[in-house]
Structure formats: structure tokens, C-alpha cells
Amino acid sequence: MNPRLKNRFVIITGASSGLGEALAYKVAESGGNLLLLARRKERLARISKEINEKYHVSSSYYELDVRNLKEVEETFQIITKEYERIDVLVNNAGFGIFQSVEDASLSEMQAMFEVNVYGLIACTKMVLPKMRQQKEGHIINIASQAGKMATPKSSFYSSTKHAVIGFTNSLRMEVMDQSIFVTAVNPGPIRTNFFEQADTSGKYVKNIDRWMLRPEDVAKKIVRAMLTNKREINLPWWMESASRLYRLAPALFEKVARKAFFQK
């Protein structure tokens, strides 16, 4: 629970399943009002109805593909006109495909950057004027441990998450004097349908199954941090420790951890 969210308005992209859906329920438990965004309108409708009935908070939904920048602009123009304030934006929409550079297609590369990076930045740009006007707000960007510690067959995906972390760090400095908080969330593998597309062979999930995070646990930590000046949320702790060692001595770490890197 987070009492700071009572009667606040929280936007979540990619809210129709996985971590986004788990976040929606955790925000509602804390008394926050929700604006749910995703491509699958029927799933959003079901989630929104359940939240309205169970938690008695406001829960609205909008069909949105963040890859379509014009659609992002139009949807957020509607939202900013209908709602007096936006307190939190969670940029959660994203996807990955685990393939080597040679095997992955250029269209897959383009799609990952359009969703994971351009869409995230576009959504952020749309809410910043409102947050500046109200002199407070919180941008939460779902990045990944893959953005800190790249592994084979995740070159395109890791590149997008590196970009998200870089964008988040720069944005934080730009708005730090305006009472707008900016947080990067860097989870390891989460047990969601993300891997239905990312890992079609099922090999990676099989190899790391016992280490996968539960979306409810990740959502709980994120919601607790909402409207606080939290720089990063890194999960699990041991993977964050490994990524720190990697940044200190990358060549040595790659040599020692070579077997662990080739799980895909």
C-alpha cells in the first residue's frame, strides 16, 4: 500500500497484461485512480471494470499503440483535456525478441526501438507540461537489467533498454528543480507473457525458470516508490550486484560468466 496515491491519477502503458496489469491492481489497492493504456481494448475493459467494482476508484482506459506517435499525441491530448492532473506516468509498454544480430530482421529492430524507446519518450513528452504546471509528478520508466548488462542474442533489446536508462538519467536532471521525480526500474526476467514472443523456443525460460520474478512482487515495489524521489529500482538484488561487477570489470566478468551469459 502507498497512502500517497490516494485520489491521485496514474497512467500505465502496456496495462493489458503482465507487469502493467499487476501495477494497475496495486495502484487501485492504494486508492489511486487509473488511466490504462494498451492495444488490447477488450482486456483493458475487463481490468478496468474489475478495478471499478472491487476498489471503488476511477479506472478509465484508452486503446493505444505507443508505436504510433500520432496516436500517442492524439490520445494524450484527450487525456490532458479530460483530467485536471496527472500524478504518475508508468512507461511500461515494451517487448523483446531474443535473436542474434545476424538472425534478427531489420523490421524487428525497428519495431523494438519504436515501442521501447520512441513510444516511451513520446508518452513522457505528452505529460511533462501538465506536471510542470501542477509543480509535481513522477515519471517511472520500465527499463531492464539487460540495459546494464548485455548478453548474447539480446543485442537489439539491450540497446533499447540502454537507451531508456540514458534517457531516464538525462530527464531526471532536466526536471530535478521542478519537483518531478524520475525513476528507472531495472528488473531481471519477470514471469509474464513477454517471453511468448521473446523466447519462442522456450529454452531461455526453461534455463532461468527458478530465478524469474513474480509480476505482483515487482509491482508492489514500484507502487511503494510512487511519488518518492527514488532514483532506481533494481531487481533481483543478486542480478544488480552482478551488473555492478560487470561495469567495474567487463572483460573479466564476460570471461568468468561466459557460461551464464549463454542461456538463450
Residue 66 CA to residue 72 CA, distance in Å, equals 6
* Secondary structure (3-state) at 63: strand
Q: 17, 11, 2, 63: which is closest to 33 by C-alpha? A: 11
The pLDDT value recorded for residue 21 is: 97
Question: What string of DSSP letters covers 106-163?
Answer: HHHHHHHHIIIIIIHHHHHHHHHHHHHHHT-EEEEEE--GGGTS--TT-HHHHHHHHH
Q: Could you tell me which residues come within 8 angstroms of residue 234 by beta carbon, excluding any fewer than 6 positions away? A: 145, 186, 187, 240, 243
Full-model pTM? 0.92
Residue 210 CA to residue 113 CA, distance in Å, equals 29
Question: What is the greatest pairwise CA distance in the chain?
Answer: 54
Number of H helices, E strands in the chain: 12, 7
Q: Could you tell me which residues come within 8 angstroms of residue 169 by beta carbon, excluding any fewer than 6 positions away? A: 184
* Secondary structure (3-state) at 198: helix
The hierarchical CATH code for the domain 3-261 is 3.40.50.720
First to last CA, the chain: 36
Q: Could you tell me which residues come within 8 angstroms of residue 96 by beta carbon, excluding any fewer than 6 positions away? A: 112, 116, 146, 154, 156, 157, 160, 194, 197, 198
Q: How does pLDDT run along the chain (264 residues), one tens digit per residue?
A: 899 999 999 999 999 999 999 999 999 999 999 999 999 999 999 999 999 999 999 999 999 999 999 999 999 999 999 999 999 999 999 999 888 999 999 999 999 999 999 999 999 999 999 999 999 999 999 999 999 988 888 999 999 999 999 999 999 999 999 999 999 999 989 987 775 675 566 666 666 667 789 999 999 999 999 999 999 999 998 888 888 888 888 777 677 766 666 665
The residue from 62, 157, 204, 246 that is catalytic is 157
Q: Could you tell me which residues come within 8 angstroms of residue 192 by beta carbon, excluding any fewer than 6 positions away? A: 17, 18, 19, 215
The pLDDT value recorded for residue 210 is: 73
Residue 232 CA to residue 202 CA, distance in Å, equals 30
DSSP code at position 255: H
The pLDDT value recorded for residue 258 is: 65
- Annotation marks residue 157 as catalytic: yes
Whether 46 and 99 have beta carbons less than 8 Å apart is answered as no
